[in-house]
Structure 1
Amino acid sequence: MLVAALLLLGLTGCGDQNATQQPPPAAENEAKPKQPAPPVSVADGENDGQPASPKSGETTVEPPGEGGERNASSTGGKPTEADGTAAVTPLIDPDRKDIFGHWLLVMTTSAGSDRFVDLRLALLEVARPQEESQKYPVRVVGTFRFLEGAELLTGEATDDEVHVRFRDSDGDAWDFQGTLGNGVVRGSLLIEGGPVNTARLLPTRRTSVEGIEEFVEAESAKDFAFALKARDRTTALRKFAESRPEDPLALPAMQGLLYLEATSGDLSRERALELASEYATMAETWGDRMRRMAWLNSAMMAEQLRLDVGTVRELLAQAEKELDEDLQKTYGRVIELVKRSVAVREAIDWLEGDDPQRKEQARRRLEEIRKQRPFDAAIIYALAQDAERSNQPDRAMELYGMLAVLPALEGELIGSWPKQLSDDALPAKKVETLWAQTHDGSTDGLQEYLDELYRKTLLQFLPGDLPAPQPQSPQRVTLVELFTGAACPPCVAADVAVHGLETLYPPSVLVAIRYHQHIPAPDPLANTDAEARFEYYDAVGTPTIVVNGRSMSPPGQFAGPLSRSPDVFENLREVIQSALKQPPAVDIQAKVERQSPGVYRVQATVTPAAGETLPETARLRIALTEDLVRFRASNGVREHERVVRKMLGGANGFAPQGGRIVVEAEIDVEKLRKELIDYLTDYENQTGATFPVKPLELRHFGVVFFVQDDATKEVLQAAAVPLQTAVVTSPPPPAAATKN
Structure 2
Amino acid sequence: MKKIFLIASAILLCLSSSAQQRRVLIEQFSNASCPTCAAYSPQVYDFADQNPANAVVITYHIPFPYTHDSLHYESPTDALSRSGKYNVAGTPTSVIDGGSYNGSTSVLLSSLASRINQRIAVAPQYQIEIKNLRIINGRFNGRVVFTSAMDNSATDAKAYVVLLERGVPKTAYLASPGRNAESVYKNVMRSIFPTTSGANLVNKQLGGQDSLELDIATLNVKSLSQLRVVAFVQNDATKEVYQANYADMQGQITNVDDIETFAGTWGYDVAGKQYHAAFSEPVVEGSIVVTDITGKEILIQPLNGQTAVLDVSALSSGIYLATVRNGSTSYTTKLWVE
Query: TM over 0.5: same fold?
Result: yes
TM superposition shift of 1:725: 7.6
TM superposition shift of 1:513: 1.0
SS of match in other structure, 1:495: helix
What runs of 5+ residues in structure 1 fail to find an aligned partner?
A: 1-471, 560-566, 674-694, 727-740
2:128 pairs with one of 588, 603, 621: 588
TM superposition shift of 1:658: 3.5
- Residue 226 of structure 1 is matched in structure 2 by none
- Residue 667 of structure 1 is matched in structure 2 by 216
| CA–CA distance in structure 1, aligned partners of residues 188 and 135 of structure 2 | 23
**Identical aligned residues as a percent:** 29
1:614 and 1:589, CA in 2 relative to 1: closer, same or farther beyond 3 A?
A: farther
- Residue 607 of structure 1 is matched in structure 2 by 147
Q: Which amino acid aligns with 1:717?
A: Q
TM superposition shift of 1:599: 2.9
TM superposition shift of 1:709: 0.5
1:570 and 1:650, CA in 2 relative to 1: closer, same or farther beyond 3 A?
A: same
TM superposition shift of 1:543: 1.4
1:580 and 1:725, CA in 2 relative to 1: closer, same or farther beyond 3 A?
A: farther
1:487 and 1:724, CA in 2 relative to 1: closer, same or farther beyond 3 A?
A: same
Confirm or deny that 1:518 pairs with 2:57. no
1:182-213, CA deviations, whole angstroms, 9 ceiling, x for partnerless residues? Answer: xxxxxxxxxxxxxxxxxxxxxxxxxxxxxxxx
| CA–CA distance in structure 2, aligned partners of residues 655 and 663 of structure 1 | 11
1:725 and 1:578, CA in 2 relative to 1: closer, same or farther beyond 3 A?
A: farther
| CA–CA distance in structure 1, aligned partners of residues 227 and 154 of structure 2 | 30
Q: Which amino acid aligns with 1:623?
A: V
Confirm or deny that 1:541 pairs with 2:90. yes
- Residue 720 of structure 1 is matched in structure 2 by 246
1:240-279 equivalent positions in 2, closer than 5 A: none
| CA–CA distance in structure 2, aligned partners of residues 575 and 569 of structure 1 | 10
1:335-372, CA deviations, whole angstroms, 9 ceiling, x for partnerless residues? Answer: xxxxxxxxxxxxxxxxxxxxxxxxxxxxxxxxxxxxxx
Q: Which amino acid aligns with 1:711?
A: A
- Residue 649 of structure 1 is matched in structure 2 by 194
1:589 and 1:697, CA in 2 relative to 1: closer, same or farther beyond 3 A?
A: closer
1:577-610, CA deviations, whole angstroms, 9 ceiling, x for partnerless residues? Answer: 211211111111222332534333221221210x
2:156 pairs with one of 598, 611, 617: 617
| CA–CA distance in structure 2, aligned partners of residues 704 and 594 of structure 1 | 15
Q: Does structure 2 conserve the Cα–Cα contact (< 8 Å) formed by 1:545 and 1:551?
A: no
1:595 and 1:523, CA in 2 relative to 1: closer, same or farther beyond 3 A?
A: closer
Confirm or deny that 1:574 pairs with 2:89. no
Q: Does structure 1 conserve the Cα–Cα contact (< 8 Å) formed by 2:169 and 2:185?
A: yes
Q: Does structure 1 conserve the Cα–Cα contact (< 8 Å) formed by 2:160 and 2:192?
A: yes
Q: Does structure 1 conserve the Cα–Cα contact (< 8 Å) formed by 2:130 and 2:246?
A: no
Give the paired residue count.
221
Q: Which amino acid aligns with 2:195?
A: G
Larger relative contact order (CA 8 Å, sep ≥ 6): 2
TM superposition shift of 1:699: 4.6
| CA–CA distance in structure 1, aligned partners of residues 158 and 201 of structure 2 | 7
| CA–CA distance in structure 2, aligned partners of residues 554 and 616 of structure 1 | 25
Q: Does structure 2 conserve the Cα–Cα contact (< 8 Å) formed by 1:497 and 1:568?
A: no
TM superposition shift of 1:717: 0.5
| CA–CA distance in structure 1, aligned partners of residues 195 and 146 of structure 2 | 18
Q: Does structure 2 conserve the Cα–Cα contact (< 8 Å) formed by 1:618 and 1:708?
A: yes
| CA–CA distance in structure 2, aligned partners of residues 513 and 626 of structure 1 | 9
TM-score (norm 2): 0.60
Structure (1/2) with the larger helix percentage: 1
1:360-509 equivalent positions in 2, closer than 5 A: 474-506=20-52, 508-509=53-54
Q: Which amino acid aligns with 2:245?
A: A
SS of match in other structure, 1:569: helix
- Residue 627 of structure 1 is matched in structure 2 by 166
SS of match in other structure, 2:40: helix
TM superposition shift of 1:489: 1.5
TM-score (norm 1): 0.28
TM superposition shift of 1:548: 0.5
1:614 and 1:500, CA in 2 relative to 1: closer, same or farther beyond 3 A?
A: farther
| CA–CA distance in structure 2, aligned partners of residues 493 and 552 of structure 1 | 20
Q: Which amino acid aligns with 2:39?
A: A
Q: Which amino acid aligns with 1:582?
A: V
| CA–CA distance in structure 1, aligned partners of residues 108 and 43 of structure 2 | 6
1:689-700 equivalent positions in 2, closer than 5 A: 696-697=222-223, 699-700=225-226
What runs of 5+ residues in structure 2 fail to find an aligned partner?
A: 1-17, 172-177, 253-338
1:400-440, CA deviations, whole angstroms, 9 ceiling, x for partnerless residues? Answer: xxxxxxxxxxxxxxxxxxxxxxxxxxxxxxxxxxxxxxxxx
- Residue 81 of structure 2 is matched in structure 1 by 532
Q: Which amino acid aligns with 1:603?
A: R
Structure (1/2) with the larger strand percentage: 2
| CA–CA distance in structure 2, aligned partners of residues 479 and 473 of structure 1 | 18
Confirm or deny that 1:703 pairs with 2:229. yes
SS of match in other structure, 1:502: helix
SS of match in other structure, 1:525: helix
Q: Which has the larger radius of gyration?
A: 1
TM superposition shift of 1:474: 3.1
Q: Which amino acid aligns with 2:167?
A: L
| CA–CA distance in structure 1, aligned partners of residues 188 and 154 of structure 2 | 29
SS of match in other structure, 2:143: strand
- Residue 99 of structure 2 is matched in structure 1 by 550
SS of match in other structure, 1:657: coil
Q: Which amino acid aligns with 1:624?
A: L
